[in-house]
Amino acid sequence: MGGFSWPLETELDDLRKVVAAMARRTTEEVRVVVSPYRICPLGAHIDHQGGAVSAMTINKGILLAFVPSGNPEMVLRSAQFEGEVRFRVDESHQPKKAGKANENINANGSEKLQECCWGRYARGAVYALKSKGNILNQGIIGLISGSSGLDSSGLSSSAAVGVAYLLALQNANSISVSPTENIEYDRLIENEYLGLNNGILDQSAILLSKQGCLTFMDCKTKEYKLVKSSNLKENTSGVHKSYKILLACSGLKHALTSGVGYNRRVAECREAARVLLDAVGKHELEAVLSNVEREVYEAHKDKLDPLLARRAEHYFSENMRVMKGVEAWTSGRMDDFGKLITASGRSSIQNYECGCKPLIELYEVLVKAPGVLGARFSGAGFRGCCIALVDADLASEAALFVKAEYNKLEPELVGKITQEGEAAVLICESGDGARVITAT
């Protein structure tokens, strides 16, 4: 359960050997895209309203080993899913119809990768690149693999897959693209090609994050900054200890609610925004809560019915938690940062009213675990895992506590995790953003 650097050289070697055999090349010719998963400590459920969010990547994610094919053909295999995907980059790849795509939407707005053709993201990457005028002369021969047990955990595995294919195709065709440009390319994959109605937080975190930094983004302006922490420096209260990230898996890989719940909450936020904007005569503004000033909310929140009032309260309180969190992170006040994470989780349950019984139970267990500074859902809270910031010295003790206590509450789900050979709790570290590495 310990936190190790990722990817391990043994992982890379194993992938290189498979691809070398597939392509009849040497292992030295095989390149690997490292596309990490992300967590969002603060900024839950407000990105679609133009709110402020925070994120960081972890040392788990997607690895795509590949070689340029030398022709327009794409040949892809997956370590998780069956079959082989073959197509040509010089073929036409058109966006999917919205109705078809929406059949594969989860409650948190992301695509169910296990239930669709896993090669669609590769086709989407070709579509995105060509739609912006890039010329693709070469496909890739590749093997894609995700960190065990984390493909449905609310860690943005779908965005990591899209980014991985983009970087591999750009590398194979000597196309130079900035991280911010790739955010737009991945948006094209998800929004246009696959018809997924999500924002740009996930791919932004995957492409922009740096180890040890908190990525802060204003989803209204799209401006971002990397925030360093002074958590190892001394202050009046002594030396701040380092931290680890706990991923506590619920055992739920299928949402216990439909995508309607997610979409309905987005609509409720917009309805609350419209009531507040109309109250001050700003009928022309788009009905999103980021267009409502805090003073307007405070002055007119009594005009909202109870349900809309809870949605608006979550938005404004969460936006404030993000701002306070950046201050706490910058000054190294990890205890304060953790308390804000826990408060975010509580508001997600009480005000945004998302989550399900196992995830809420898991959240409550994490909050009580030794050394845990703060915890919340990862994703919408209908499946997958919870995340926690934990004192590095107590991470192993916390992991054992969480597994034991959650087992008392949900023995069948924990048994399912164990049966599948996966860890109930993983100890992770922050990592770097997506990149391509070559054999040394």
pLDDT tens, 221-271? Answer: 989 999 998 754 444 444 445 899 999 999 887 654 445 577 789 899 999
CA angle, 123 as apex, 11 and 382 as ends, to 5°? 70
* Domains delineated in the chain: 9-222+432-438 (3.30.230.10)
Instruction: Tell me how far apart the alpha carbons of residues 291 and 50 are, in angstroms, rounded to a whole number.
Output: 8
Instruction: Tell me how far apart the alpha carbons of residues 57 and 429 are, in angstroms, rounded to a whole number.
Output: 9
Q: 61-65, 87-91, 235-239, 349-353: lowest mean pLDDT where?
A: 235-239
186 labelled catalytic: no
Q: Which residues contact residue 255 at a Cβ distance below 8 angstroms, ignoring those fewer than 6 apart?
A: 106, 107, 108, 380, 382, 383
Instruction: Tell me how far apart the alpha carbons of residues 28 and 31 are, in angstroms, rounded to a whole number.
Output: 8
User: In terms of DSSP bridges, do strands 73-78 and 52-68 run parallel, antiparallel, or are they unpaired?
Assistant: unpaired
Q: What is the mean pLDDT of residues 175-198?
A: 89
Instruction: Tell me how far apart the alpha carbons of residues 404 and 409 are, in angstroms, rounded to a whole number.
Output: 9
Question: Tens of pLDDT along 99-139?
Answer: 444 444 444 444 444 434 678 999 999 999 999 999 999 99
Residue of 202, 218, 336, 391 marked catalytic: 202
Q: 40-54, 233-247, 398-412: lowest mean pLDDT where?
A: 233-247
pTM for this predicted structure: 0.85
Q: What is the pLDDT of residue 149?
A: 63
Output the average pLDDT for the chain. 88
Question: Tens of pLDDT along 285-326?
Answer: 999 999 999 999 999 999 999 999 999 999 999 999 999 999
| Residue-wise burial string across 222-253, b where 16 or more C-beta atoms lie within 10 A, e elsewhere | eebeebebebeeeeeeeebeebbbbbbbbbbb
Q: Considering only CA atoms, which of 35, 326, 31 is closest in space to residue 179?
A: 35
User: In terms of DSSP bridges, do strands 73-78 and 385-391 run parallel, antiparallel, or are they unpaired?
Assistant: unpaired
Phi, psi of 246 (to 5 degrees): -95, 135
Residue where the block lists tokens 């492409």: 207
Q: Which residues contact residue 299 at a Cβ distance below 8 angstroms, ignoring those fewer than 6 apart?
A: 279
Q: What is the mean pLDDT of residues 157-183?
A: 94
**Highest mean pLDDT, choosing among 74-83, 87-96, 199-208:** 74-83
Q: What is the pLDDT of residue 106?
A: 44
